[in-house]
Amino acid sequence: MPEGLVIRPLELKDHEEWSRLWTAYLEFYETSVSEQVYEISFNRLLSTDAGEYNCLIAELEGRPVGIAHYLYHRFMWSVEDTCYLMDLFADPQVRGKGIGRALIESVFQIAKQHGVPTTYWTTQENNYQGRILYDKVAKRTPFIVYEKDE
Amino acid sequence: MPEGLVIRPLELKDHEEWSRLWTAYLEFYETSVSEQVYEISFNRLLSTDAGEYNCLIAELEGRPVGIAHYLYHRFMWSVEDTCYLMDLFADPQVRGKGIGRALIESVFQIAKQHGVPTTYWTTQENNYQGRILYDKVAKRTPFIVYEKDE
Amino acid sequence: MPEGLVIRPLELKDHEEWSRLWTAYLEFYETSVSEQVYEISFNRLLSTDAGEYNCLIAELEGRPVGIAHYLYHRFMWSVEDTCYLMDLFADPQVRGKGIGRALIESVFQIAKQHGVPTTYWTTQENNYQGRILYDKVAKRTPFIVYEKDE
Amino acid sequence: MPEGLVIRPLELKDHEEWSRLWTAYLEFYETSVSEQVYEISFNRLLSTDAGEYNCLIAELEGRPVGIAHYLYHRFMWSVEDTCYLMDLFADPQVRGKGIGRALIESVFQIAKQHGVPTTYWTTQENNYQGRILYDKVAKRTPFIVYEKDE
């Protein structure tokens, strides 16, 4: 873990910084969500209900600089659930300090303690900066994603 | 919908045929699961609990010939959930009759009625037969899948 | 080699049938070339000059049903040249008879007799029908193609 | 063009530095070639014969720091030839100075002056550092490469 870095669960006080980080993440994917989605999502992340996303905050010298949103869900091929890491973001200003890696490792360890042996995520094929990291900490599968919305 | 084809939810009486179809599906992916996973999975599929996979059976002239396993889960970027189609299989003997397509369309329509606008799935990049169909009914996204299990 | 199938070099008398087959091939790639390119290309294919493409014709029961255009060129990493199979086409009406495969194998064998140990080609990632064949007779490399025209 | 950078054709005096740079390039691809290939390749690069590779040297403040090997060959779909950029390398110590980009642009411009409108190259799908550059200066095509050597 990089010096001065703390990974901890989201708290109510993080609302503003979490919004800032998530917005920057969504901008990376050239998308945005409504104000309503921000509010509902924040409440869901704070909830401890099964079926809700969880959130980790990466704090560097007391300042939130990264987020990870992850979800446990059933996995047909095993008794255990699997863990889906949906959103991962580190402030561009603090890139190269290992924050993304620390967030991934933390999600993976927390999931394991939760009895969930596998964490997976998706990324765009041309997210080169992300993939340089992902190739180091995980395995690329041969799977691609199809989506049907009409 | 092809003539003589009925898509319906899994029932208790389907245990044997469902096992046969799922086994054939897993063999396609050169994998297998334990007897325990068969038992737990079948019960989970019959359960109506949120967070459990659902199963559709494709029946051709009264005989089960295809299965689809799908799951609703939260989606960070919207108020609505999304639908993950994990397993899809049609008997090789009855390929080319539109069974896979009918299963996908049924999952998508059921999800929509459930308030879930998007259904997604993954497939191996070199699953050409599958992708010929998927390209017709859905959109390939630029996303690839990473997995961490150690 | 499928019964009734002959693979032989292009001849002057093939002009019309070669034009028909190449046009069908180009249509598959949603492209076309000018009348001038047809004329120049046909002459180049008949030429035995080094640096020119060669052409094989697949003839089924006396009728041309497939073409292959291939070129030897230097390869930096070896003393020997390499062989680039640029265009490969079999009449859709006679698909499934092994014509594409026979053309590929013939190009590869001719190249080997010519002292050229390796034959390569490119294909669109979603040319599923082609790739089903290519996966059987060759190796997919991890290479993708970039092009600069401005 | 970065200050202090000169792109020029390979000369006889470059033998040693060219060997050093090409070796480093081949090591990147985890390969090597025989002493014989070094000798034959160097002579071919110096040759002005059609059908031989050409070589550009990138010189930073008088010191060779990059190489590009490129070849003109026939292209079936046009009257004009195409240009294949096979090897491209910049010294890791001088990365980020635009040497790779300057080499690509120079090959492309020289080819154009030669009447060759298109330059293409291949790269491994996971050559992220390279692709960050290639996406800026060229277009990724949907083509992948197959190779047959037995």
Residue C142 maps to a domain? no
Residue C44 in any domain: the answer is yes
Range of the domain at D115: 5-137
Q: Are B120 and B86 in contact (CB under 8 A)?
A: no
Residue A41 included in any domain = yes
**DSSP label of B53:** -
Beta bridge partners of C68: C56, C88
Q: Cβ–Cβ of A77/B26 closer than 8 Å?
A: yes
Q: Chains with 3 or more CB pairs closer than 8 angstroms to D?
A: A, C
Q: Which residues of C touch B132 (CB under 8 A)?
A: 128
Amino acid code (one letter) for B99: I
Q: What is the pLDDT along chain B (150 residues), one digit of tens a residue?
A: 788 999 999 999 999 999 999 999 999 989 999 999 999 999 999 999 999 999 999 999 999 999 999 999 999 999 999 999 999 999 998 988 999 999 999 999 999 999 999 999 999 999 999 999 999 999 999 999 999 999
**Among D126, D129, D135, whose Cβ lies nearest the Cβ of A135?**
D126
Chain B CB within 8 Å of residue C141 CB: no
**CATH code, domain with A85:** 3.40.630.30
* CB proximity D135 to A under 8 Å: yes
B145 is a domain residue: no
**All chains having 3 or more CB pairs closer than 8 angstroms to chain A:** B, D
Structure tokens at D96: 């980020």
Residue B150 within any structural domain of the chain: no
Residues of B in contact with A143 (CB under 8 A): 122-125, 144-145
Answer whether B touches D (≥3 Cβ pairs < 8 Å). no
- Asked if residues B128 and C131 have their Cβ atoms less than 8 Å apart, the reply is yes
Chain B interface includes A112 (CB < 8 A): no
Specify the 3-state DSSP secondary structure of D112: helix
Which residue in chain C is spatially nearest to D88 when comparing CA positions? Answer: C76
pLDDT tier for residue D21 given thresholds of 50, 70 and 90: very high
Write the DSSP string, chain C: --TTEEEEE--GGGHHHHHHHHHHHHHHTT----HHHHHHHHHHHH---TTS-EEEEEEETTEEEEEEEEEEE--TTSSS-EEEEEEEEE-GGGTTSSHHHHHHHHHHHHHHHTT---EEEEEETT-HHHHHHHHHHSEEEEEEEEEE--
State mean pLDDT over C129-134.
96
State the best of D45, D103, D146 to mutate against chain C, taking most chain C CBs within 10 Å.
D146
Is any Cβ of chain B less than 8 angstroms from the Cβ of C93?
A: no
Q: Is A15 left (phi over 0), alpha (psi -120 to 50) or beta?
A: alpha
Positions of chain A with pLDDT lower than 70, given as ranges: none
Band the pLDDT of D96: cuts 50, 70, 90: confident
Q: What angle do CA A70, B73, A26 make, to 5 degrees?
A: 50
All residues of chain C having their beta carbon less than 8 Å from the beta carbon of residue B128 are 128-129, 131-132
What span, in angstroms and rounded, lies between the C-alpha atoms of D51 and A146? 44
Between A28-32, C1-5, C126-130, the lowest mean confidence (pLDDT) is in C1-5
Residues of B in contact with A78 (CB under 8 A): 33, 37
Structure tokens at D8: 């020029």
In a domain, A149, yes or no: no
Domain membership flag for residue C47: yes
CB interface of B with A, residues 16-35, below 8 Å: 26, 31, 33
The number of folded domains in chain D is: 1
Span D107-131, pLDDT tens digits: 999 999 999 999 999 999 999 999 9
Whether A142 is covered by a domain: the verdict is no
Question: Mean per-residue pLDDT for D90-116?
Answer: 95
Crossing angle (nearest 10°) for helices A35-46 and A15-28: 120
- Per-residue pLDDT reduced to its tens digit, C33-62: 999 999 999 999 999 999 999 999 999 999
Pick B123's closest partner by Cβ from A31, A73, A143.
Answer: A143
CB contact under 8 A, A126 and B104: no
